[in-house]
Structure 1
Amino acid sequence: MDTLFFAHRGSSHKYSENTRAAYLQAIDEGADGIECDVHLSKDGLVVCHHDPTVDRTSDSTGLVAEYTLAELKAMDFTGVVPSVLPAGYGAENEQLLSLDELFELIEAHGKSVGLAIEIKHPSPYGHLLEKTVLQVLAAHGFDPQTGTAGSRGQISVTLMSFEPNSLRYLARTVNTSLLCQLMTEIHPERVQQLIDSGDLVRAGVYEVLYRSVAEGIELINAGGAGIIGCGVAWTRANEHLVRRWLEQGLKARVWTIDRPADAQFLVGLGVGELTSNRPAELRKELEQG
């Protein structure tokens, strides 16, 4: 198939998201790409983790930004999808990775793979997050014009964010064809509800998600991002807009696709990249269908 399958936070249906095991499973299954999320730790290192807090994904609580990498590694991140870790997939205290370690893991396996890095905002460090990500990429041979990285140019890097200002910052040095504007539908009442409840961390995240649509459409139309990164529900609701962008030559990477019916719809629409928690199974189901 011409369709590319990206493993959403690794093969996160089998092993807990954004862990060494999930990434290794994705590589072993032959995923075309790996999607990861990044924050800065207290000691200024780029950490692969989705939420701004560790509450949902670990045996601890608190903001990622309030812990050093060593402190984060001491936590257990295997509980989201409880499973026995195979030999070679690392012990429980080896599951959380820095972005630098994720590059090393991919290098060690020698396979050509895409790496879609989602930069998470709001960040207490502002654009220091983007700056540090670019420093890690440079250390691994990243070409900001072509997106190639790795010792043999075997890693194809793209950068994603819901925050349009993140992509505007990256576009100063990175080819916009490598930038993906993420979008999903959030109602403003939800943001206000979170503020009223005192959950300011989630309120900040939802405010970015809410702005991602109007500002994201504007950014894409202005040529500020070469990849459309919308959710499947948003894609179905805005099919005419996605079709127009595809006709203009933009790429689309739609998430999170676990049902064959959604995948078939998107492939028929002309979407070339699907992000899935179960990329190997989804590919097989489409090929057999």
Structure 2
Amino acid sequence: MSPDRRGPLVVAHRGASAARPEHTLAAYELALEEGADGLECDVRLTRDGHLVCVHDRKVDRTSSGTGIVSEMTLDSLNALDYGSTSEPAELLTLSDLITLALDFARPVKLFIETKHPVRFGGLVEAKLLAELHRFGIASPPSADHSRAVVMSFSATAVWRVRRSAPLLPTVLLGDASRYLGGGASTAVGATAIGPSIKALREHPDLVDRAAAAGRATYCWTVDDKADVDLCRELGVSWVATNHPGRTKQWLGSV
């Protein structure tokens, strides 16, 4: 997860989600067209054991239906519309997104966030690693050449991944400088820290402290030019944004 010399590399947060419904194929396809270097997604397990790209515990905000993801089957989730009135869209599974990224004409890195606490506990990471193994990307030759990065606000979740797939890069997410800059990232062996842009504004020393410990910095969610400039100035490796095309233009990398 080395930083690019031109500045941070750009990760499309739930796809190009400012322009298309989040976590939909249309959002990710647009992000790729706009030159995103990485694609970010949140994953949850369905009742029948499928990993799907949904941020919230419930589908109420992002679909035409209602219900708790972990209590619904893949078929029942697929029956809902995740788009808009003018552009209906289907549920995206993690398998769909991995296939899209691996089939694209240039290398694109996937940033996959596991959500906790959830009823399935560590089964989420176990299922995720099994899926990455199925695609042949769970054991990269090095962290820099990995096609997938696993992230979580849960230190325990990051530790599970590091223990089972030590070559996969991991990001410990957080919104408190004491948490990220303290011993948590060291204890779980995270290869990067993931502060919010608010935390980074308040504690810009986080990037240097992480670098001194051999860790990269992934910052979320960076949508304003002043914040993009700050991340570039500080040496942030990756910025997650809802506007990947605009952010690439600001960085002069398109």
Q: TM-score, normalised by structure 1?
A: 0.79
User: Which residue is 1:193 aligned to?
Assistant: none
**Structure 1 letter corresponding to 2:128:** V
Matched, 1:254 2:245: no
Closer, same or farther in 2 for the Cα pair 1:69/1:147, shift >3 Å? farther
Q: Is the contact between residue 229 and residue 254 of structure 1 (CA under 8 Å) also seen in structure 2?
A: yes
Select 1:175's aligned residue among 133, 148, 166.
166
SS in structure 1 of the partner of residue 250 of structure 2 = helix
1 CA distance for matches of 2:64 and 2:142?
36
Select 1:269's aligned residue among 224, 234, 248.
234
Which whole-Å deviations, capped at 9, do the CAs of 1:18-44 have from their partners, x for residues lacking one? 111111111111100000000000110
Q: CA deviation at 1:107?
A: 3.3
User: Which residue is 2:38 aligned to?
Assistant: 33
User: Which residue is 2:28 aligned to?
Assistant: 23
Matched, 1:61 2:66: yes
SS in structure 1 of the partner of residue 132 of structure 2 = helix
Matched, 1:158 2:149: yes
SS in structure 2 of the partner of residue 165 of structure 1 = helix
Matched, 1:129 2:116: no
User: Which residue is 2:110 aligned to?
Assistant: 115
Closer, same or farther in 2 for the Cα pair 1:62/1:248, shift >3 Å? same
Which whole-Å deviations, capped at 9, do the CAs of 1:67-98 have from their partners, x for residues lacking one? 1111111111114xx6x44xxxxxx35x3111
Matched, 1:284 2:227: no
Matched, 1:46 2:11: no
Select 2:93's aligned residue among 93, 98, 103.
98
Q: CA deviation at 1:177?
A: 6.3
Higher mean C-alpha displacement, 245-254 vs 36-45? 245-254
Q: Is the contact between residue 145 and residue 174 of structure 1 (CA under 8 Å) also seen in structure 2?
A: no
Closer, same or farther in 2 for the Cα pair 1:14/1:215, shift >3 Å? closer
Q: Is the contact between residue 253 and residue 274 of structure 1 (CA under 8 Å) also seen in structure 2?
A: yes
Q: Is the contact between residue 2 and residue 272 of structure 1 (CA under 8 Å) also seen in structure 2?
A: yes
Higher mean C-alpha displacement, 107-116 vs 214-223? 214-223
Closer, same or farther in 2 for the Cα pair 1:29/1:218, shift >3 Å? same
User: Which residue is 2:16 aligned to?
Assistant: 11
**Structure 2 letter corresponding to 1:238:** H
Q: Is the contact between residue 117 and residue 159 of structure 1 (CA under 8 Å) also seen in structure 2?
A: yes
2 CA distance for matches of 1:213 and 1:63?
33
1 CA distance for matches of 2:11 and 2:136?
22
**Structure 1 letter corresponding to 2:179:** A
Q: Is the contact between residue 8 and residue 231 of structure 2 (CA under 8 Å) also seen in structure 1?
A: no
2 CA distance for matches of 1:240 and 1:270?
11
**Structure 1 letter corresponding to 2:237:** G
Which has the higher relative contact order, 1 or 2, with Cα contacts under 8 A spaced 6 or more apart? Answer: 2
SS in structure 2 of the partner of residue 170 of structure 1 = helix
User: Which residue is 2:3 aligned to?
Assistant: none
SS in structure 2 of the partner of residue 47 of structure 1 = strand
Q: TM-score, normalised by structure 2?
A: 0.89
2 CA distance for matches of 1:68 and 1:147?
36
1 CA distance for matches of 2:124 and 2:62?
21
Closer, same or farther in 2 for the Cα pair 1:104/1:177, shift >3 Å? closer
SS in structure 2 of the partner of residue 43 of structure 1 = coil
SS in structure 1 of the partner of residue 164 of structure 2 = coil
Q: CA deviation at 1:248?
A: 3.1
Point out where structure 1 has 5 or more consecutive residues left out of the alignment: 86-91, 186-211
Point out where structure 2 has 5 or more consecutive residues left out of the alignment: 1-5
